Structure 1
Amino acid sequence: MVEHSRLNNSRSAKIRAQLNYPVIDTDVHTNDFTPAFEDYIANYGGSHLVDELRKAENSRLNSRIEGKDWYQQTPEERQYYRTLRAPWWARVTRNTLDLATYTLPELLHERQAEQGSDYSVLFPNNALAAGGAKPEHRQALQKAINHYHADIYRKYSDRLTPVAGITMTTPEEAIADLEFAVNTLGLKVINIPGGVRRPIKAIADKYPPDQFPEIAKYASYTDFFGLDSEYDYDPFWAKVVELGVPVTTHYGSQGWTGRSSISNYMNNHIGHFADGSQAFAKALFFGGVTRRFPKLRVAMLEGGADWGAHVYIHLVDRYSKRNIKALQNYNPALTNSNELYQLFERFGGEITKGYNLSPEELTHTVLGASFNRYSRDPVGSELEDFAAAGIESIEDIRDLWVNPFFFGSESDDRTIAAAFNDKANPLGVKINAIYSSDVGHWDVPDITLPLAESWELVEEGVISEADFRAYVFENPYRLYTEANPDFFKGTAIESKLSNIEAKSNTENFVTA
């Protein structure tokens, strides 16, 4: 049972007691107890899988060059190799109770009341570790990792559910991971990387990666599984929808241009989840994924929700100027050569004196000199950037950007106001911000603080009480149940909603 002294001292528990609806936390990070985790992996698939796990973790956590990571290099070496300053001191340690909580499933389950949560979706820090393993071991290791997490959290499924990590190197591999996680293990949420690094073929053909590994490290691009992907991921998205699984990602951009400081982690960190997730989401949107799979539900975590509003607004703005009809404003063929000639004759005598150009020659000269790089003639589908997305109105943008995407905001993120600003957002919509406490990481030093910090946004007038309810309950509930109507069957959420409905026949606590 929860210690009453701890519960009584929790500000979040006091806030939760005042609410007449449940609280769903979409982003809780947990640690694996390494000896038990590695023993499980070894028993599952052999000691070689443990070796692969350790190599993958080391590769993921450290930027190693010439066998040395950032901390082993001298300042001169860091400058010479441009070694990225990686995250450091990224876990809660001083708060010993919380450190144990994130590692022990029973304790985390017990402390849900202190956290002010009724249900939490868990992201074990090793969930996607298999992505760095050798290709021949990657899927076996991913299955073992997912099986371990399914096993240790199964008895606490009334309030906790872990995500299944899905490797996305190929659609076939992703589908195999997905089917095993859902059909065999009974996991309900998947966590994917928002992109996969692939070699640039023109360079790889000239400098084979096995012969020139240092070149291969840099001569790559990111495939975001939608727009411009060299693979067809539609079978994977179709399987996701068929199995009723919400997709989540914590995709960051540390190491990208502008986020590659060799000395400052915060420089690389601020905004990087938003940038990474934005690239992923736009690839799905412009690649037509959300059009072809309208039931797909995707949550992008840790980046805040304001960027979702920002992109939505700019999609609408740009569509209004670059839709198929409006594009004719920029069609060089529609320039009136005679009118242009008359204007130059009237106002440009000093500039054009001595050139004796015909109206057609003048038009060609003006367009060529001033707009040449912008006046190439596109062919067929190249003419409109919104074609693959199937956009014919701004309502389509709302339906294919706002409806399928959910944006994880941490408890003290004041930029959430932009998501709920229906006066600024076109068509008066509110972006789907979801409560993502991010407990378990350095930005949450105390598990009992996040919900109370979010309520402070109401007290300060940043968001309304209705927005708060949408944030901590309605939007998360829709994320999971729009993908799978039975998502909360047998959980504390189902029982609490039943109790609420039994007490009131007038208020609808679950939005359609």
Structure 2
Amino acid sequence: MTIALDRPQKTRSAQIREKLGYPIIDTDVHTQEFEPAVLDYLEQVGGTALVERFKENLPGSSRFKWYKQSWEERFAYRTNRPNWWGRPTKNTLNLATISLPKLLHERLEEAGTDFAVVYPNLATMAPNIGNEEMRRAVCRAVNTYHADIFRPYSDRLTPIAAIPLHTPEEGIEELEYAVNVLGLKAIQIPGYVRRPIPAFEKYGKEVANEVVWIDNFGLDSEYNYDSFWAKCVELKVVPTTHASSQGWTTQRSVTNAQYNHINHFAFAAEALCKSLFFGGVTHRFPQLKFAFLEGGSAWGASLYADIIWHWETRNKQHLLSNNNPAIIDKEALVELYTRYGSELVDGRLDKIGDGLGFHHQLLAPENPGELDEFELAGIEKPEDVRDRFLNHFYFGTESDDTRVSQAFNRAANPFGDAYGGQSQRIKAFLGSDSGHWDVPDITAVTANAYSMAEREIITEEDLRYFLSIHPLELYTSLNQDFFKGTGVEKAANEYLAGK
């Protein structure tokens, strides 16, 4: 039987691409591995016994324990309801596209896309596997598998390498293998590692698995990850992340998966972004940039403004000058209480206390240096926040996410119109999320993005930054040859020459 595949000669997205005249780079296209082939690779890496263990405990399978529990158990354990039916199944062609590299390569033109960074399903999950032996074997297997199957299509597609980071050492080892042996040039790190809180381990494994803290590799981390960041710089790769926060505190509805899904990528990305910023990673590694996929860019604009606001109201000098309990004029305060307090305070003036800061000297940091919580980030003025943030963080945004307007609203964003204006956008860029339920038609990606300019949600100039300039900027920041041999090599060289 021959299946009729409806393939328009030229989609609207392809027509728009021709009209725009510049390359469109999609930084987040999802694909699905062909499991039997992946298992062959895993067997080569870890042996038959490990493959059997893998099949019994597939990555992400813990999400589905909800289905095995009774309603009583779900509420007793507060098991968050997972997503379901995550693939675009109505159109067979679109479904096949996400799992066949040759077909995806052929159809990028229909999407109006010149080049795409690919995030395979299992690769996004592998770094979060708890068991070290399994985690490292699966990462090695999927990285080798994807390097092999996408190599013939490298002119338009490049897959990410899955890099585990439970320790900096395991991250460095897999990074070196992925880049130096497999030739991969894009990577994905986990957004965090769930670590047990030591004080609760005495209550047993079941409690320890639930009572955890989130290690985001920067502020207050279990390890010093500077050796890993340095290795990224050395090997010229940009860390990107695609992390989920479903199951965290407020993302834990037992009955409603949409409640758990909304903003969960943004929450996880924001936690990592804050950790990198306040932990001083962007201060110590001025060459290094980071990208956060699928969470949109509105949270990035909000976080940027919020950090500046907190610095202006909570920097060390401001606190010492305006909030230090030691500067209270106690005599004047008592006089005011006496004059206006009447019977409310009569006979109890000696009780004036914590609410007004009287006893907060007892709570002051032993080391005055601890007042400066911006010290690691190297912040001495608000312009430093701008530089540590805008020069380092990029935000993957879907083609129909109109909230991208917040990233490009330079009138509202701090320093948006100052210091050249053009460079002060929040660095949002296209991450279509093709291959998932929310992108039922890959050929609509460019048309969706262009419609935002048509509706004047963003300008034509902003659109170019979104679709082309920001991705070029990100991926050539460490590796100027990132696009060598691809369909966008000429545009990348022109961009680099014009910097």
Common fold by TM > 0.5: yes
1:36 CA displacement: 1.6
What percent of counterpart residues are identical?
49
Q: What pairs with 1:49-68 in structure 2 (closer than 5 Å)?
A: 49-57=50-58, 59-63=59-63
2:164 counterpart of 1:167? yes
2:156 counterpart of 1:155? no
1:99 CA displacement: 1.2
CA distance in 1, matches of 2:98, 2:86: 13
Could you report, residue by residue, the CA deviation over 1:69-110 in whole angstroms, capped at 9, with x for unpaired residues? 222333233223322101100112221101111111111111
1:511 CA displacement: 6.1
CA distance in 2, matches of 1:81, 1:156: 46
**Cα–Cα, structure 1 residues 321 and 415, in superposed 2: closer, same or farther, change >3 Å?**
same
Specify the SS of the correspondent of 2:117.
strand
Contact 1:92 1:99 in 2 (8 A): yes
CA distance in 1, matches of 2:174, 2:384: 32
Contact 2:472 2:492 in 1 (8 A): no
Residue in structure 2 matched with residue 288 of structure 1 by the alignment: 280
CA distance in 1, matches of 2:435, 2:358: 53
1:40 CA displacement: 2.5
Contact 1:53 1:133 in 2 (8 A): no
Q: For 2:251, which of 252, 259, 262 is the aligned residue?
A: 259
Could you report, residue by residue, the CA deviation over 1:9-53 in whole angstroms, capped at 9, with x for unpaired residues? 522111111112100000000011111221222234322332343
**Cα–Cα, structure 1 residues 431 and 130, in superposed 2: closer, same or farther, change >3 Å?**
closer
The one-letter amino acid paired with 1:237 is W
Specify the SS of the correspondent of 1:311.
helix
Q: What pairs with 1:396-407 in structure 2 (closer than 5 Å)?
A: 396-407=384-395
Contact 1:305 1:409 in 2 (8 A): yes
Q: Could you state the TM-score of these two structures normalised by the residue count of structure 1? A: 0.90
Alignment RMSD, CA only?
A: 2.1
Could you report, residue by residue, the CA deviation over 1:257-289 in whole angstroms, capped at 9, with x for unpaired residues? 111011111000001111110001000000111
Contact 1:251 1:273 in 2 (8 A): yes
CA distance in 1, matches of 2:359, 2:105: 60
Q: Could you state the TM-score of these two structures normalised by the residue count of structure 2? A: 0.93
2:242 counterpart of 1:242? no
CA distance in 1, matches of 2:244, 2:386: 25
Q: For 1:408, which of 365, 383, 396 is the aligned residue?
A: 396
Residue in structure 2 matched with residue 196 of structure 1 by the alignment: 193
Listed as ranges, the gaps of 5+ residues in structure 1 are 502-507
CA distance in 1, matches of 2:449, 2:171: 35
Q: For 2:312, which of 312, 316, 320 is the aligned residue?
A: 320
**Cα–Cα, structure 1 residues 372 and 48, in superposed 2: closer, same or farther, change >3 Å?**
farther
Could you report, residue by residue, the CA deviation over 1:133-179 in whole angstroms, capped at 9, with x for unpaired residues? 52234323321211111011111111100000011100111111111
CA distance in 2, matches of 1:330, 1:511: 48
**Cα–Cα, structure 1 residues 52 and 469, in superposed 2: closer, same or farther, change >3 Å?**
farther
The one-letter amino acid paired with 1:17 is E
1:351 CA displacement: 3.0
CA distance in 1, matches of 2:448, 2:175: 35
The one-letter amino acid paired with 1:45 is G
CA distance in 2, matches of 1:482, 1:63: 37
1:510 CA displacement: 7.2
Q: For 1:440, which of 418, 430, 435 is the aligned residue?
A: 435
Residue in structure 1 matched with residue 93 of structure 2 by the alignment: 97
Specify the SS of the correspondent of 1:144.
helix
Contact 2:13 2:443 in 1 (8 A): yes
Contact 2:29 2:435 in 1 (8 A): yes
CA distance in 1, matches of 2:94, 2:5: 17
Residue in structure 1 matched with residue 224 of structure 2 by the alignment: 232
Q: For 2:364, which of 370, 377, 381 is the aligned residue?
A: 377
CA distance in 1, matches of 2:394, 2:298: 11
Contact 1:409 1:434 in 2 (8 A): yes
Listed as ranges, the gaps of 5+ residues in structure 2 are 417-423
Q: For 1:347, which of 340, 346, 354 is the aligned residue?
A: 340
CA distance in 1, matches of 2:358, 2:55: 54
CA distance in 2, matches of 1:42, 1:139: 13
